Structure 1
């Protein structure tokens, strides 16, 4: 396949393609003319509500893809929602959760999708592709040029978020455990699919209760954190203009320039990438049977070590990256729709949205800014840019949040660093979550 694409701008390009006008002027959803998408939707709904939807993977994935993409398309074009609340991701999750809550989905379909997501392993399948491909696909030039110094402001953001959230939380009545595990960790954890979802699995395994119990508490924090991250990004842009010495105007450090790398998509490489993702996940599960760490955390460590040591052949690295991009491009909204059905309890979500909760979420984002700016300054970064990339891009809602934060701060050229924060920073939070649970 000869389509050239930048790994760093993939999500942005995907967002431009889906549901936008082509050169011929036809509106498209999920990379097809809207008329054809509506035909697929009509067939799906007819099968769903006449009781003729195929069981198992086919019927579940069909409903998840069609309705997930439809809800995602609406969310990405709804004012306020698309700007501050995470766009399509939030609508896909809460739209499907509302359908279950209101009885708009047949019980048999809800059961089938829940089984597909949980015992069927679709969630693990997605996460395996995401962890393997996103870490192996990191741009080596960025990692070499910036080096380990970038991880200091990331550490500062996490430390600042924990400290300020702990203070705010204690003032409004939360325990330290609640402030850190329920609010801080999901906000700093790299988004929905890479953060809150695997985090709920880790919490479930280490503390008991079903993952749905935790994800219903984690999702509100993630959404609110994204809102504050976007708002404060625009505030940082204003501060940078008022105090020029704090800002590099889109440049993280003096003398640094970045050139995007491109690659050609290849079907055979994607197959290799799929195999790599499944193998890394299996090794994580194998080692997790006798190591006191969650398989996700073990997998993250193994993939990171493989990337840093450069022991994986280049075609496997490219294949893993391309397979991850395929999965993220085509199944993210489907996964989020499934999360709403199988893991999200609207009653729990609504009960969590109190003034105390909102203030603590604000404390997390504020602490991330302060910590990243201070430690970023120590390693030679401009404080504003460090706060945006290592701070707000840790506290936002993953890939869509990165775009929103950088757009609000008028610093889209910082996307490579935003992705380091969302990918490796988010992976670090998953690892930390598994390590600190026994300590709290």
Structure 2
């Protein structure tokens, strides 16, 4: 008899035996009338009560952590639907909809989320995702791989505009509100970065779009996996279009070696380094906001300037790697420790579960299919022109820009039997997602005002 695969329980870094007593404490405090609260004064809402940060954090970590673990544990949901992010978002929202979360705790979550926690998370994520790249990787990617990413994005943006026009959304809405969330650097970009960017550009709170955007990104992820499998089978029959796992054509082996990502520790035992990374990431974000507020320069959003500054700093080596790596530690801290509670907070504060039926339609599917297909075709064409094998360029520079992030990259590459190209996929997710945010930051003011 074959041994059944064991499911390991791990929430907040604890196994079930040790997590359960702490979870019970949180639940007793939450539903037993023991929650610590504070009085909030607001010009708009008057005076109201909200839970303190201690209670808010503990509840969001517990609930978000459980849903996050479930999303990672359920195979199909985890691999193809972005379950690790999907379940905390919709699970917390459903709990709120059913009245399972006390109003004072909902208020506490809103104070915490609206008070800048989401912006802090975005700063740690964006800066770290760029500084994690090896300088040689960035420079080599710019010379050979970046044209494939840029070509892919141009085709994808054009296809989304076309899809919006064909389905009645309108080109601009099809691009910004259906297509762009599928190509913004994974689920994190869809549920945090884009809503924050649109909020700053439009001058109105658009964080409620998070659930809608994640829904669209999950659909794109499934399509990317499907196109990877189909594209591999088709290109194997076309001479010169499939590198059998090699992305750079003959004569480019030295470049391929240069683009291998240098391994570095994901974290540090020195907590001063972690604090340094948090501090620098927040300062990058603040500097981006300054540039985004200056005359002429304000045509580019502050969030996009943050990305540009990080790329410049990494490529020029102004900040030595020994210090830049600190931002990598803070990014991984955000991803490993803060992501479940962030998503649960977004679910409680920004997602109305009754609106979910409005998110999906045949028109939405048409726009997303055209966008993902455009990204795939654009990467194939421009990759071939840059001396890359078309299929390998298409699957990495194209399809890995249209998924839910790291787990999406793995799903796409597995479908194409190209796991050896994970470093290239990482470039697409990190740098490609950042570039898409810059594209959107530039185009949104031109078409949506």
Equivalent residues of 2:56, 2:105 under 8 A apart: yes
| 2:428 equivalent in structure 1 | 421
Q: What is the TM-score with the length of structure 2 in the denominator?
A: 0.87
Please state if 1:87 is matched with 2:83: yes
The answer as to 2:285 corresponding to 1:281 is yes
* Residue 179 (structure 1) aligned with residue 174 (structure 2): yes
Aligned to 1:108: 104
Deviations 1:227-271 (A, max 9, x none): 211222222232344446322222211322436423372423212
Deviation readout 1:150-181 (Å, 9 max, x if unpaired): 11111111111122222232222120111111
How many equivalent pairs are there?
417
> Could you say which residue in structure 2 is the equivalent of 1:131?
126
Following superposition, the deviation at residue 195 of structure 1 comes to: 4.1
1:369 deviates by 0.4
Q: Deviations over 1:309-362 (max 9, x none)?
A: 110022211111112112211111221111111222223332121111112111
Task: Indicate conservation of the 8 Å contact 1:212/1:345, yes or no.
Answer: no
Within the candidate set 210, 213, 238, 1:218 is matched to 213
> Take 1:194 and 1:357, find their aligned partners in 2: how far apart are those partners?
19
1:397 to 388, 391, 404: 404
8 Å contact from structure 2 (residues 261, 423) kept in 1: no
User: Are positions 1:153 and 2:148 aligned together?
Assistant: yes
Q: Which of structures 1 and 2 has the bigger CA Rg?
A: 2
State the partner residue of 2:67: 71
Summarize the Cα distance change of 1:266–1:115 in structure 2 as closer, same or farther, 3 Å threshold.
same
Q: Shift of residue 299 of structure 1?
A: 0.9
Q: Distance in 2 between matches of 1:438 and 1:41?
A: 46
Check conservation: 1:60, 1:112, Cα contact below 8 A. yes
The CA deviation at 1:388 is: 1.1
Q: For residues 379 and 400 of structure 1, what CA distance do their matches in structure 2 show?
A: 27
Gaps of at least 5 residues in structure 2 are 37-50
- Name which of 347, 350, 354 aligns with 2:361: 354
- Which segments of 5 or more consecutive residues in structure 1 lack a partner in the other structure? 1-19
- Residue in 1 that maps onto 2:47: none
Is 1:322 the counterpart of 2:329? The answer is yes
Computed over aligned residues only, the root mean square deviation of the Cα atoms, in angstroms, reads 2.0
- Structure 1 ranges of 4+ moved more than 4 A: none
- Change over 3 Å in CA distance of 1:232–1:41 after alignment to 2: farther
| More displaced 10-residue stretch of structure 1: 49-58 or 348-357 | 49-58
Alignment-derived partner of residue 193 in structure 2: 198
Question: In the alignment, is the contact (CA less than 8 A) between 1:216 and 1:348 conserved in 2?
Answer: no
CA deviation vs aligned residue, 1:32-87 (integer Å, no higher than 9, x gap)? 22211222222222222223234332211212211112111111222421222112
For the 8 Å contact 2:72–2:83, the answer to whether it is kept is yes
Structure 1 contact 187–396 (Cα < 8 Å) conserved: yes
